[in-house]
Amino acid sequence: MIGFVVVSHSEPLAEAAVDLALQMVHGEQPPVKIAAGAAGGFGTDAAAIAGAIDALADSEGVVVLTDLGSATLSSELALDLRESSQPVRISTGPFVEGATAGIVRAATGGTLEEVVADADSALRAKQPDAGGAPTAPATDPAPEQKDTAPSAEHAVIERALLNPMGIHSRPAAVLVKEAGRFDATIEISDVTTGKGPVKAKSMVGMLSLGTAKDHVVRVEATGPDAAEAVAAFDALILEGFGELDD
């Protein structure tokens, strides 16, 4: 699994960012090391960052997340000081959003490049048109469900979201984890707005859709486990991701 080194000028800030990210992980958590503060104060220490990277020598790769520009400079110096040889990437993404997106993707077994890509693009979820150019909503109400008979390699459903806040951070993290269970390529679109499709293994991609309550989403899967994957996603949607009132 991919590991993380979180580099911040402030140890409390780093701890809070890691705590938030790990709240989104269901199941095994990626290894995370914090290299924050300098001499017990404010700043960054290249030697401490190198030590944190070396502590993750058994991981498949390491993503370094930084809060400010000088933290990035310290991290670059740390690459020259470290003793371990596993591949390391310094993310250019936002500190909090990048940590959350990257750690969630790593928990699904994402490769180093996949994890870095999600961390680097994490701000995309805050951009209004990130999920694709929206189209005008249909005049007639969209159907709550539209099922397409699955084949061995392909399955599709369309289902209206029931939970009050739609696909926000927690449901997105649940869907990412679920997507990792299946041998299938799973994509999600917002039929109501016309945004998508995005990969279900990308938390950033799903958040970029801005999918709200009562929006109809299309879940499409291709691969050996397509039918099982779509059925599992359908069940999560019907359960409101555990957010429905009794």
Is 120 in contact with 105 (CB distance < 8 Å)?
no
Which residues carry out catalysis?
Answer: 168
In a 3-state reduction of DSSP, which class is residue 123? helix
CATH code for position 190: 3.30.1340.10
190 DSSP β-pair partners: 195, 217
Residue ending a domain, choose from 126, 159, 186: 126
| pTM beyond cutoff 0.75 | no
Predicted pLDDT of residue 129: 58
Are 111 and 156 part of one and the same domain? no
Q: Look at residues 22, 102, 95, 87 and name the one whose alpha carbon lies nearest to residue 56.
A: 87
> How many domains is the chain partitioned into structurally?
2
Q: What tens digit of pLDDT does each residue of 92-149 get?
A: 999 999 999 999 999 989 999 999 999 999 888 776 555 443 333 333 444 444 444 4
CA 83 and chain centroid, separation: 30
219 DSSP β-pair partners: 157, 188
- Average pLDDT per consecutive 10 residues, the chain (246 residues; last block may be shorter): 97 96 90 90 94 97 96 96 97 95 93 95 73 40 46 87 92 90 94 93 88 95 95 95 80
Are 28 and 122 part of one and the same domain? yes
Residue ending a domain, choose from 126, 156, 184: 126
Answer yes or no: is 140 within a domain. Answer: no
Are 156 and 201 part of one and the same domain? yes
How many angstroms separate the CA atoms of 50 and 136, rounded? Answer: 51
Q: What tens digit of pLDDT does each residue of 92-108 get?
A: 999 999 999 999 999 98
Are 55 and 164 part of one and the same domain? no
Write out the residue range of the structural domain in which residue 186 sits.
Answer: 145-242
